[in-house]
Structure 1
Amino acid sequence: MKDVLIRSVFGALFLMVVFTPFVYDVRNNGNMLNLVFYVFTMLGTHELSEMSKKSPYKHSMKLPALLLVTALFMPLLIQTAKSFYPLLFNPVWDYFVQTPALLVLWGIVIATVIILSYWIFQKEKIDFVFKSPFVFNFFYPVLPMWTLAIAYTLTNSIDKQMLLIVLLPIYLNDTLAYVFGRLFGKTPLIPSVSPKKTREGFIGGLIGAAIVMIAILYFAGEFTTYNALGVAGVSVLASILATLGDLFESKLKRSVNVKDSGNILPGHGGILDRIDAMLFVAPVLYVLLALIS
């Protein structure tokens, strides 16, 4: 009972950290969530570095990796600060906006997700990624979070609400997959990677998340056949990608024989344990929705 309470409290705190600046941004056309993306990326980089020390290769390149994260996010953080100090000069961001860089980054993210998903189903360990921890860290978790932050900054306050359509299915799928797995789970999904995940739980989470999202749409007064199909489609894709993200991180941890990526969130583990699904889902689907809108 105590463990459940601790997990629930810190789970709620995590959601508060994400959604409080998000609500501010929607109401004030700001980009405060970039601070959260930056902190999550820094913490994820730190955790990945610590995991690399448990691999056969030992080296981590943590300091250069943290400096790279800061350099990449600096134009975004300056852009965030311009909401409070409009006279700030940000030539890097102004140049970026005028180029098709987001499309290029999005394409690289999709290719990265495909490759990492492929590695999930390999019988061998994937500890080889720690041969070049700096390079691997760029593609996971830096590139997905950086791409998401760029797309978020380019999006106006109204369209920023699309992030809810992307993030809600992740948490709905996670909760419902757990419930259905506990009640009906018999067939392991990929036992060599995550013995507790079942096919029944996966299907229950996928379908359940889509139904709940359609119900939310209905009670919000935005229900049309077109909107329902769109939300259901995004929810299904989010559930699939979220499961792949979770499985990849499980595969990565098993390759270096660790249970959690860290211990910053009691009852949950590390920050990578909380954002593993987001890394696969959010940059892919949020950029897609931003481009469509």
Structure 2
Amino acid sequence: MKVRVITAIVALIIFIPILLLGGNTLLILSLLLGIVGISEFLRMKHRFFVSTEAWISFLGVIVLILPRNFWHHIPLIQSSHIVFYFLAFLLLLHTVFSRNRFNFDDAGALALATLYVGTGFHYFVQARAVGLAVIMFGLLIVWLTDSGAYMVGRAIGKHKLAPKISPNKTWEGSIGGSIVAVIVVSGLFTIFNWLPQYHFFELLVLALLLSIAGQMGDLIESGFKRHYGVKDSGNILPGHGGILDRFDSMLVVMPLMAILGMLS
């Protein structure tokens, strides 16, 4: 527990100032986090970091995280999706020349993981570009849902939420975490008028949807860790695991914020 707390404090000391600065500083951090995140997936797949599929995956994450206006300056390429499709095609082509060392299932898994990690961090950067209040709305929901679910689950949790995927999670904890997040975040942002474009009821609905999505993100990551037989996605954060362990909810919440029109 001591190691976990120390890691969290150090991470926040580094993360909060970068979050406040935003801009290229946050973009660089997001690119680094994305590369580490996909490298954790490669490790779970038992793929070398210097392999062809690894370099394609690294490049794919970078391509997806970069802001949209980056591609406006490159002739013939107006969107990251064009480049991503080309990289996905290279993964498929690699199955032909790898002599069955790299197959179609591997290509599909890496393409989906790249899309998952790259898109999540892309909208993380975009959320900060829209405004500090917007990104904090999403992050607070994730943090409060996680903390609330842990405390409520430990206190009264009895009914397992997904025992075959994450045996420690309970329905009581899940519901309690969402209630805590929705009430605290909606009340806080309404009192201080941090998102004046939304009414209180709208904030309630958005907070509830994002809280549920965050928990789904947590379960998704637990699911593929269970599939690959690992406890943590990595060990870069002592006591917390890897980047995917810490950002699993955010990688789902931030794209959903874009879908809900919060990042436009």
Task: Tell me the TM-score range normalised by the shorter chain.
Answer: 0.7 to 0.9
Instruction: Indicate the RMSD between aligned Cα atoms, in angstroms.
Output: 3.2
Q: Which residue matches 1:237?
A: 209
Q: CA deviation at 1:146?
A: 2.7
Change (3 A) 1:226 1:139: closer
- Partner of 2:85 in structure 1? none
Match of 1:36 in 2: 29
Of the three residues 108, 116, 135, the one matched with 1:163 is 135
Maintained 8 Å contact 1:166/1:234: no
Select the structure with the greater relative contact order (CA < 8 A; seq sep ≥ 6). Answer: 1
1:223 deviation in Å?
9.3
Distance 1:223 1:43 in 2: 33
Query: What is the SS of the residue equivalent to 2:249?
Result: helix
What residue is the counterpart of 2:255 in the other structure? 283
Q: Tell me, what secondary structure is at the counterpart of 2:262?
A: helix
Paired residue total: 238
Of 205, 228, 244, which residue of structure 2 is paired with 1:256? 228
The one of 7, 10, 14 equivalent to 1:13 is: 10
Inter-partner Cα distance in structure 2 for 1:8 and 1:41: 24
Q: Is the 8 A contact 1:166 1:286 kept in 2?
A: no
Amino acid at match of 1:142: G
1:271 alignment partner in structure 2: 243
Distance 1:224-1:10 versus aligned 2 partners, 3 A rule: same
Residue 49 (1) aligns with residue 42 (2): yes
Deviation at 1:23, TM superposition (A): 1.0
Q: Which residue of 1 aligns with 2:122?
A: 146
Paired with 1:38 and 1:222, the residues of 2 have a C-alpha distance of: 28
1:211 is displaced (CA, Å) by: 1.1
**For the structure 1 residues 71 and 226, does the alpha-carbon distance in structure 2 shift closer, same or farther, using more than 3 Å as the test?**
closer
Going from structure 1 to structure 2, the CA distance change for 1:201 and 1:146 (only over 3 Å counts) comes to same
Q: Deviations over 1:222-257 (max 9, x none)?
A: 698953222222211111011110101111011111
Change (3 A) 1:95 1:245: same
One-letter amino acid of the structure 2 residue matched with residue 290 of structure 1: L
Give the aligned partner of residue 196 of structure 1: 168
On the 8 A contact 1:60/1:134 being kept in 2, the answer is no
Following superposition, which runs of at least 4 residues in structure 1 exceed 6 angstroms of deviation? none
- The answer (yes or no) to whether the contact 2:142–2:249 under 8 Å persists in 1 is yes
Equivalent position amino acid for 2:263 in 1: A
Q: Structure 2 CA distance, aligned partners of 1:244 and 1:196?
A: 15
Name 1:214's counterpart in structure 2: 186
> Kindly tell me: are residues 49 and 268 of structure 1, through their superposed partners in 2, closer, same or farther at Cα, counting changes over 3 Å?
same
Structure 1 CA distance for aligned equivalents of residues 73 and 133 of structure 2: 24
The code of the aligned residue for 1:22 comes to L
Is the 2:123–2:258 Cα contact (8 Å) retained in structure 1?
A: no
1:72 CA displacement = 4.6
Q: Distance in 2 between matches of 1:21 and 1:235?
A: 24
Q: Summarize the Cα distance change of 1:262–1:223 in structure 2 as closer, same or farther, 3 Å threshold.
A: closer
The aligned counterpart of 2:200 is 228
Residue deviations 1:23-75, cap 9 Å, x none? 123xxxx3421112111100001100000019xxxx882122113334455x5
TM-score, normalising length: structure 1: 0.71
Report the Cα offset of residue 219 of structure 1: 4.5
Contact 2:127 2:254 in 1 (8 A): no
AA of the residue aligned to 2:4: R
Cα distance in 2, alignment partners of residues 42 and 11 from structure 1: 21
- Measure, in 2, the Cα distance between the counterparts of 1:140 and 1:222: 29
Residue 180 and residue 187 in structure 1: after superposition, are their counterparts in 2 closer, same or farther (change >3 A)? same
SS of residue in 1 equivalent to 2:240: coil
Partner Cα distance (2:30, 2:195) in 1 = 31
* Matching of residues 47-196 of structure 1 within 5 Å: 47-53=40-46, 61-73=53-65, 76=67, 92-94=71-73, 130=106, 132-149=108-125, 151-152=126-127, 155-156=129-130, 159-196=131-168
1:218 Cα deviation after fit: 4.8
SS class of match (2:237): coil
Unpaired segments ≥5 residues, structure 2: 83-103
C-alpha contact 2:148 2:176 (8 A) present in aligned 1: yes
